[in-house]
Amino acid sequence: MNNAQKTIKRIGVLTGGGDAPGLNAVIRAVVKTAIREYEISVLGFLNGFGGLIKNQARELTENDVAGILPRGGTILGTTNRDNPFHYPVERNGERIFVDVSDRIFENTSIQEVDALVIIGGDGSLSIAKELNDKGMKLIGVPKTIDNDLYATDQTFGFDTALTTATEALDKLHTTAESHHRVMVLEVMGRNAGWIALHAGIAGGADVILIPEIPYNINKVAKKINQRSNQNKKFSIIVVAEGAKPIDGDVVVQRRVEESFDPIRLGGIGQVVAREIEVITGKESRVTVLGHLQRGGSPTAFDRILSTRYGTAAVNYLFEGRYGHMVCLRGSSIDTVPLEESITGQRMVSLDSDLLRSARQLGISFGDSD
């Protein structure tokens, strides 16, 4: 028995940031592995880091996680607010932000929790890194539909979001062809184009606009006119929410200062559709998938990846790999230090074979004829 096995008698688990299909599968794997393999109890903290700050938690047994594998969302609740190092409070009628991270250490001590499994994206993992630096034993699990987390080949939730976007494109094709329209589908992804690129290829898009390749709207219009001249009377455009024109900037919907990620992107689809109508004279319509991409039952791939992450997180805790994040490297599960996982965003490589394949199919990225 190693030192970690001697000192860890109870672990806590929480889900932070935006929800993603597969969160419940991770929770289920954590609980079942901890109870069956290591004979320890698991406490679930509610609503992200808010549960740690406010000491809101509940015991999780095997009965509690029975049947949750195919369920979307998270049984623990989540939020992309409640950063313990930047927590909003009212003082003298003024809203200020303070460090309340000491409460987390007090509450885990009260609950006799010896280590944490923190499931989240770059915001949650950045907080996890700070907690670990203060002495908390923990391990991170990468989660985001955007697939933009550094140091892992894929995050769970991405495959399900991709499937949702692809199904939407399949449906848009029929109405676009019937009405001879340009259909614009705006998808999530923040500053990375993974969802747009993969869904665009899988769904037969004619134009894909991603953040990594600033676009020229005239090049996009030229592609649409070329299709029209070939008697193809409709076009499908997929645009990532973080896409931007050459010499332009992203479209910001609003700001939420207390959030891990205060900038809310959205609206680029309307901008593209409006400009396409003006340049080509062709009727254009916009569909914004939004949070549909976060919802629903996870795909088989995401269920399996989430399960592997959950079991590995517990196993690595008992190996003493504190301050790490589980990751997918090729076909194997491993870990990387948390500081490595949050050093940057994983972007679409401009020399990737997938991008090259798309261009060879005739898909335009708005940067060339």
- Please check whether residues 287 and 309 belong to one and the same domain: no
Q: What is Dmax (Cα atoms) for the chain?
A: 73
CA angle at 79 for the pair 142 and 192, rounded to the nearest 5°: 45
pLDDT of residue 265: 82
Catalytic residue among 122, 146, 148, 206: 146
Residue pair 313/335 in contact (Cβ under 8 Å)? The answer is: no
Q: What percent of the chain has pLDDT over 90?
A: 83
pLDDT of residue 176: 86
Confidence of residue 257 (pLDDT cuts 50, 70, 90): low
pLDDT of residue 179: 83
Q: What does the pLDDT average to over 93-111?
A: 95
Q: What does the pLDDT average to over 134-147?
A: 96
List the single range of 6-15, 180-189, 215-224, 263-272 with lowest mean pLDDT.
263-272
368 part of a folded domain: no
Q: What does the pLDDT average to over 286-290?
A: 92
Confidence of residue 3 (pLDDT cuts 50, 70, 90): low
Return d(Cα 19, Cα 128) in angstroms, integer: 17
- Please check whether residues 9 and 96 belong to one and the same domain: yes
367 part of a folded domain: no
The mean predicted confidence, pLDDT, of the chain is: 93
Residue 1 pLDDT greater than 60, yes or no: no
- Please check whether residues 174 and 316 belong to one and the same domain: no
- Please check whether residues 289 and 300 belong to one and the same domain: no
Residue 258 pLDDT greater than 90, yes or no: no
Catalytic annotation on 153? no
Confidence of residue 5 (pLDDT cuts 50, 70, 90): low
- Please check whether residues 190 and 76 belong to one and the same domain: no
Is the Cα dihedral 313, 78, 67, 158 positive or negative? Answer: negative
CATH number assigned to the domain comprising residue 275: 3.40.50.460
- Please check whether residues 166 and 273 belong to one and the same domain: yes
369 part of a folded domain: no
Residue 54 pLDDT greater than 90, yes or no: yes
pLDDT of residue 201: 98
Q: What does the pLDDT average to over 313-336?
A: 96
Confidence of residue 110 (pLDDT cuts 50, 70, 90): very high
- Please check whether residues 247 and 197 belong to one and the same domain: yes
Confidence of residue 266 (pLDDT cuts 50, 70, 90): confident
Core vs surface per residue 113-129: b (16+ CB within 10 A) or e: bbbbbbbbbbbbbbbbb
Residue pair 340/61 in contact (Cβ under 8 Å)? The answer is: no
- Please check whether residues 76 and 90 belong to one and the same domain: yes
CATH number assigned to the domain comprising residue 37: 3.40.50.450
Residue pair 59/43 in contact (Cβ under 8 Å)? The answer is: yes
Tell me which residue range forms the domain holding 61.
Answer: 3-156+296-341
Residue pair 274/215 in contact (Cβ under 8 Å)? The answer is: no
Confidence of residue 178 (pLDDT cuts 50, 70, 90): confident
Core vs surface per residue 232-244: b (16+ CB within 10 A) or e: eebbbbbbbbbbb
- Please check whether residues 290 and 331 belong to one and the same domain: no
Residue 261 pLDDT greater than 70, yes or no: no
pLDDT of residue 188: 95
- Please check whether residues 148 and 165 belong to one and the same domain: no
Structure token pair of residue 116: 């944490």
Residue pair 146/189 in contact (Cβ under 8 Å)? The answer is: yes
Q: What percent of the chain has pLDDT over 70?
A: 96
Residue 332 pLDDT greater than 80, yes or no: yes
Return d(Cα 184, Cα 128) in angstroms, integer: 38
pLDDT of residue 2: 66
The strand pairing partners of 263, in sequence order, are: 255
pLDDT of residue 346: 93
What proportions of the chain, in percent to the nearest 5, are helix, strand and coil? Answer: 40, 20, 40
Block residue for tokens 């001590």: 109
317 part of a folded domain: yes
Residue 47 pLDDT greater than 70, yes or no: yes
365 part of a folded domain: no
260 part of a folded domain: yes
- Please check whether residues 283 and 311 belong to one and the same domain: no
pLDDT of residue 250: 84
Q: What does the pLDDT average to over 189-197?
A: 94
Residue 358 pLDDT greater than 70, yes or no: yes
Instruction: Please give the residue that has the higher pLDDT: either 344 or 359.
Output: 359
Residue 51 pLDDT greater than 80, yes or no: yes
pLDDT of residue 254: 74
174 part of a folded domain: yes
- Tally of structural domains, the chain: 2
60 part of a folded domain: yes
- Please check whether residues 270 and 217 belong to one and the same domain: yes
Instruction: Please give the residue that has the higher pLDDT: either 93 or 152.
Output: 152
